[in-house]
Amino acid sequence: MPSADRQRPPSDTIAAVATPPGRGGVAIVRVSGPLASRVAKALTGRQPAPRAVAHCEARDAGGQVVDRGLALWFPAPHSYTGEDVFEFQGHGGPAVSGEVLRACLAAGARPAQAGEFTRRAVLNDTLDRAQAEAVADLIDASSAEAARLAMRSLSGEFSSAIDALVRGLTELRALTEAMLDFPEEEVDALHVDDARRRLARIRSQLDEVLRQSRQGSLLREGVRVVIAGRPNVGKSSLLNRLAGDEVAIVTAIPGTTRDALREAIQIRGVPIHVVDTAGLRETGDAIEREGIARAWREVKAADVVLAVFEADRGIGPEDEEILRKLPSAARRLHVFNKVDLLADGRVERLAGEVPALRISARTGEGMDLLREAIVEAAGWQTGGESMFLARARHLEAIAAARGHLEAAAQHGRRWELFAEELRLAHAALSSITGEFSTDDLLGEIFSRFCIGK
């Protein structure tokens, strides 16, 4: 169902080099739009057969041969964009592909903007919006796991889960609208029961989609883990251990680290941004004070805080002072470092629910357990093969829908309010795949694409 704000498909023809800039085996020039056939003929001297490959020369506007390669022709609507698409696969040098592109522009195409091919696919209903985002996610995927999930979204698995919810809501809305036509006391108890049951079912389905989306979003966005604690407890040594490299300076002098230091690592495929910070203490040194202010800023933005202590000293008054100031929103792990210094292996533990880990950044002891604890604290669940590579905007929309369904459940027999909450939940969910979304959103989605996609 096309929405009212949906733009009419564009009538001009776009062209771009679709392969990355630089030298390579092949460069692909892609052309899409009503003039694609004219461009193909101007470039290759003939009209290529649909979905067949032709080996041919590419000529510029003056008839000069600029390249030899393969021509492909995908007539509308069976193409990536849903329009007529012509592709020329030539030699992969920037100068030669530039010449081919120039010839296409001379034949009537204009240069494509970033993401414009995929945008046309959405406007022509070849892809929905969540699938278009999956295209970008697939290209940007930095791990095999993220690529696998992006591929699943591109094949429409995420969209179908959302569509199933939308269908359930549409039915429930129709039922509710029918009930609105009757005075409250005449609404059949069976109808009321049916509506409640349906609502409960949709809510539990939605919770499952939200859970799967949160899991996937961890893979997409990664987790920000900040190492914090007193000077000299071994924070930088811990960063080096996690990174498997000597990225941070380690010395026996308290106050070594001044700036926040970042390293990107992966634990079980989950991207983790580890931040090492300046040791937290009162100090008269202006540079160190600035470092400590930065450390607190990092801590405030953390998903998981590793509060590091020295195992041989336990949690002292300064450590307690730091613990009191940690934000409550972030998950926290208590890490007792330097267990290699303990004769009996006993560690003072803090009572409470915060998991405590014993490690030695020097020997590597306890590091595996710490890595597991980090991904667990970040909300990663094992056996998470059924995940959706959700974006922040998807999570927000699902959470908003969840809030409206919860409100609907609380409206009892006030059917107008019930119906209104259902409508809002429906709108929130629909924004994920396309309906009800604005041009701003389209712009936002495609601004991060590369040219030629």
Ligand X SMILES: Nc1nc2c(ncn2[C@@H]2O[C@H](COP(=O)(O)OP(=O)(O)OP(=O)(O)O)[C@@H](O)[C@H]2O)c(=O)[nH]1
Counting contacts by CB under 6 A, is residue 82 touching ligand X? Answer: no
In a 13 Å sphere around the CA of 264, the CA atoms on its Cβ side amount to 7
- Asked if 254 touches ligand X (CB under 6 A), the answer is yes
DSSP symbols for 417-441: HHHHHHHHHHHHHHHHHSTT--HHH
Residue nearest to ligand X (CB): 279
104, 435 contact by CB (below 8 A): no
CA dist 397 and 170 (Å) reads 17
Q: Hey, how many other C-beta atoms are within 10 angstroms of the C-beta on 125?
A: 13
Instruction: Report the residue from 200, 341, 369, 392 that binds ligand X according to the rule CB under 6 A.
Output: 341
Site string for ligand X, 416-435 (x = CB under 6 A): --------------------
Residue 299 within binding range of ligand X, rule CB under 6 A: no
Residue 294, interface with ligand X (CB under 6 A)? no
Write the DSSP symbol of residue 314.
Answer: B
Residue 451 DSSP one-character state: B
Q: Which long-range contacts (CB under 8 A, 24 or more apart) does 8-12 make?
A: 8/123, 9/82, 9/83, 9/120, 9/123, 9/124, 10/120, 10/123, 12/110
Binding site for Mg ion (CB under 5 A): 235-236, 256-257
By beta-carbon proximity to Mg ion, the closer residue of 232 and 433 is 232
Describe the crossing of helices 129-140 and 415-433 by its angle, rounded to 10 degrees.
40
Cβ distance to ligand X smaller for residue 168 or 234: 234
Could you tell me the smallest distance in angstroms from the CB atom of residue 92 to ligand X?
47
Distances (CA, A) of 184 to 174, 176, 199, 200, 404: 17, 12, 19, 21, 22
Contacts of 430 (CB under 8 A, 6+ apart): 166, 436, 437
Rounded to the nearest whole angstrom, what is the least distance from the CB of residue 262 to ligand X in the complex? 14
Q: Which does residue 194 bind out of Mg ion, ligand X, none, counting CB within 5 to 8 angstroms by kind?
A: none
234 touches which of Mg ion, ligand X, none (CB within 5 to 8 A by kind)?
A: ligand X
Nearer to ligand X, 102 or 273 (CB): 273
- Amino acid making up residue 449: F
Looking at 22-30, 159-167, 206-214, 359-367, which segment touches ligand X (CB under 6 A)?
359-367
Residue with smaller CB distance to Mg ion, 199 or 225: 225
Q: Outline where 155-254 has alpha helix (H).
A: 157-180, 189-221, 235-243
| 126 binds ligand X, rule: CB under 6 A | no
The item of ligand X, Mg ion, none sharing an interface with residue 431, based on CB under 5 to 8 Å by kind, is none
38 binds, among Mg ion, ligand X, none (CB under 5 to 8 A by kind): none
- Stretch of 94-102, 115-123, 230-238, 343-351 lying at the interface with ligand X (CB under 6 A): 230-238
- Compare residues 362 and 393 and give the one whose CB is closer to ligand X: 362
CB of 332 to ligand X, least distance (A): 17
94: tokens are 């920037």
From the list 234, 271, 384, 434, which residue makes contact with ligand X (rule: CB under 6 A)?
Answer: 234
| Residue 355: other Cβ atoms inside 10 A | 15
From CA 395, how far away is CA 116, in angstroms rounded? Answer: 25
**Structure letter (DSSP) for residue 23:** -
Q: Is 347 in the site for ligand X (CB under 6 A)?
A: no
Minimum distance of ligand X from residue 248's CB (angstroms): 7
Q: Which of 81, 337, 430, 431 binds ligand X (CB under 6 A)?
A: 337
By a kind-dependent CB cut-off of 5 to 8 A, residue 294 interacts, out of Mg ion, ligand X, none, with none
Size of the site for ligand X (CB under 6 A): 23
Tell me which residue of 163, 191, 189 sits closest to 429, measured CA to CA: 163
Among 340, 376, 396, 420, the residue binding ligand X under the rule CB under 6 A is 340
Give the residue with the Cβ less far from Mg ion, 212 or 237: 237
From 163-171, 246-254, 346-354, 375-383, span contacting ligand X (CB under 6 A): 246-254
Are 242 and 336 in contact by the 8 Å Cβ rule? The answer is: no
340 contact choice in Mg ion, ligand X, none (CB below 5 to 8 Å, kind-dependent): ligand X
Q: Which two tokens stand for residue 255?
A: 């106050």
Cis peptide before 77 (omega within 30 of 0): yes
Interaction site with ligand X (CB under 6 A): 231-237, 250-252, 254-257, 278-279, 337-338, 340-341, 360-362
